[in-house]
Structure 1
Amino acid sequence: MAGGEADTGGPAAAGAAGEVAPRLLSWYDRHARALPWRVPPGGGAADPYRVWLSEIMLQQTTVAAVKGYFDRFTRLWPTVQALAAADEAQVMAEWAGLGYYARARNLIACARLVAAAGGFPDTRADLVALPGIGAYTSAAIAAIAFGRAETVVDGNVERVVARLFAVQTPLPAARRDLTALASTLTPDARPGDFAQAMMDLGATICTPRNPACALCPLMDLCAARAAGLAADLPRRAPKAARPVRTGTVWVALDDAGVLVETRPARGLLGGTLAFPSTGWDGSDQSPPQDGDWDVAGEVRHVLTHFEARLTVLRAPLGNPSRGEVAARAGFDATALPGLMRKAWALVR
């Protein structure tokens, strides 16, 4: 129950919480996932830059989706100083397709502040003051990169804790209670490894569906398993229907060039290369050039808080009133955000 005591029970709630960290760390030493940004157990100190970069990329995104981006970014910009000196347009282009473009803008801003300061701060309080770093990310960097005993709670950890303590209050109302319970488990020793172990447990064993309880190192401590509720937790409040926004995308092109523009730094798909558009983002734009436009089709794309359904119009390149003409021969559609790549697929 949000704002009060959590609706919990069972072995973990009854006093076995102190056994969680030793068991989980022992399991992690044998079964830690090999990830490109991670130092394996016993492998020494983690690089704060790689921890920070991976955590920013992983926000609202899967490990599988991030691996290629992380490898490419760290090849191009192996240090925070290199990223701070990078061309902003190139960073945005390399980010294209990863989504949530405010993250990329904050990434650049944060890198520049950190480089100017001579490195990352090592406390959660100082980290959370940097652009793009919130409560979760600051705790993760402080624990993993600097060994601070901070409680790191992502979706995987929420699920593990909800089951371990049999928390039946639905999410998102249970979030504060789950964080408080998770804090009772965080050890002073190896807090970074413990945070990653909790994430790994949720990702590989304590999965959303069909959890592999028989393989779990915390099996006999889990209140949800004892009550036969593991697969039912965490509970979730019904989601509201996702609203739909409509609009138009104009794609003007010929054999020599294609009309594009850089979107405003703030707002939806901010700072990205895109085709002129209107409506879906709250704007009320006119076509970028006079003349007749043919309907190429419709694209649909789910963004954070709504679904965009856009009519794609095509015309030969004329005398545009805004934007810039990119050479058709070297046009790289991978630099476009996903919504605009769908529009390009209809007309190319």
Structure 2
Amino acid sequence: MDVELVEQAALRPADDLSDAAAARERDQERARQGTLLGLTELPEIPRHDRTVPGRSGASEVPVRVYVPDSAGVAAPVLLWIHGGAFMLGDLDGSDSWCTRLADAAECVVVSVDYRLAPEHPYPAGLQDCLAVLDWIAEEAAAHGWDPARIAVGGSSAGAGLAAAVALWTRDHGGPKTVFQLLIQPVLDDRRRTPSSTGLTGVPVFDSPALEQMWRHYLAGWSGDVPPYAAPARAANLGGLPPVYLTAADADPLRDEAVEYAGRLVEAGVPTEFHLFPGTFHGFDVCVPDAGVSRRALREYGETLRQALHPPTPA
């Protein structure tokens, strides 16, 4: 374990996700105590809350829009999807993520407050994310954004939803995205890798929590699990936008991220993969001031900026 993470690791045992209400109470208490991302000084970024139309008669979807002064005219846009095992999290909890990324990447960030399991299992959350992507593409010109430079990203379960959005839009002709930022993504419900079954008792998120998460997210689903629920199930990964993908070391999601990155490369998708040694799931959230977290957070922003602001051809 990275020496700067050891103390916090001891304070963050893997969460028990069997009871969603109890898990949410613990998550909110951690937020009140300031143990989530946001302990360090953050830039001031103008932001506002609003709702956008849902899909297929669903209720409107709350979003928070971050518009840094540096974004300029015809700004690129990141659709950001928060983590939380498909059952935790909200706009406030991802505020620091979005502030950092908007500032570092000089882009507009639209953060989506999607419906959560187990009250709203798959595909409710995905449909909310797709609704927001539709809105971004349709309203970009009116807001002075560039519809040709839309990226999708997220952390943990949010990164899994981001990967699902990219698959869905490829397969169903939705708005084009140009980049995927997948931070420690949830990708495979089958739990067939050594890390997914053999990491009990590691900090924050372990193998039993992984099983509980999928049970809530797929509650009531019958038949084959589609790739839009578990992107690793996609038979073909070709034709997807370029990807930046990460994994933590002591993380049950580690091996599926490694496999997914390899399959993306084999499919010809430009892919950059980083495994952060000596870390646990959500290390960048839990200990943002640690050296490894600072490097990771800086890398996320720089990579996104390069993807959304490519060099002008000579």
TM-score (norm 2): 0.25
Q: TM-score if structure 1 supplies the norm length?
A: 0.23
Structure with bigger gyration radius: 1
